[in-house]
Amino acid sequence: MAAVTGDVIAEAQFDPKFTSWGRVVISGYLFISVVGILLIPFWWALSYWYGAEFLRRVSARLTTNALEIKIGVFFRKESTIPLNRITDLRLHDGPVMRHYGLRGLKVETAGMSGQDSGSEGNLIAVVDAEGFRNAVLAQRQRVIEAETGQAQVVTDTSAPGNDMLVEIRDILARIESHLAQGDNE
């Protein structure tokens, strides 16, 4: 099936242990807030429905040109992240996640990095998170290589700032030629 952003290459699967993990984490936050202790029984009753509904609605698809993420039960978020904008895919797991055997995947993009900014996508409980990350990174590399091969070379040095870009381009070309000579030896 062809998506708007290309053919689907891989789809992430999500671990059903997410519901137990979420139940424990939210209960911990409620317990710490002291006032929330009264809400813990209601949360436990609601969490059985919420966890199942979350797992039904969450999805992550890798297409030929983008990573498509859908997440949320009450507040839904759909993101289409072009692969050439992805700067980092971080695996994460805390002590409670490790107890349940879960890992998360955070998608960082150009322009979204920094201490105060959130990640473009945060997927929790991805089955084989490392494998999915590797698939996304491999496809990202193919997209970037395809773009680089078709990229236009800056030849007009009269525009302000282009002289620096031309110098950087020339330095990179020299580095590539030295590396190519080193491979032939």
Q: Which CATH number covers residue 134?
A: 2.30.29.30
Q: Is residue 185 part of a domain?
A: no
Q: What is the pLDDT of residue 172?
A: 86
Mean pLDDT of the 25-29 span:
92
pLDDT digits (tens, 9 = 90+) for 107-123: 988 776 555 455 778 89
pLDDT digits (tens, 9 = 90+) for 124-138: 999 999 999 999 999
Domain count of the chain?
1
The reported pTM is 0.70
pLDDT digits (tens, 9 = 90+) for 145-173: 888 775 444 455 555 667 777 778 888 88
**H/E/C letters for each residue in the chain?**
CEECCEEEEEECCECCCHHHHHHHHHHHHHHHCCHHHHHHHHHHHHHHHHHHHHHHHCEEEEECCEEEEEECCCCCEEEEEEHHHEEEEEEECCHHHHHCCCCEEEEEECCCCCCCCCCCEEEECECCHHHHHHHHHHHHHHHHHHHHHHCCCCCCCCCCCHHHHHHHHHHHHHHHHHHHHHHHC
Range of the domain at 95: 2-179
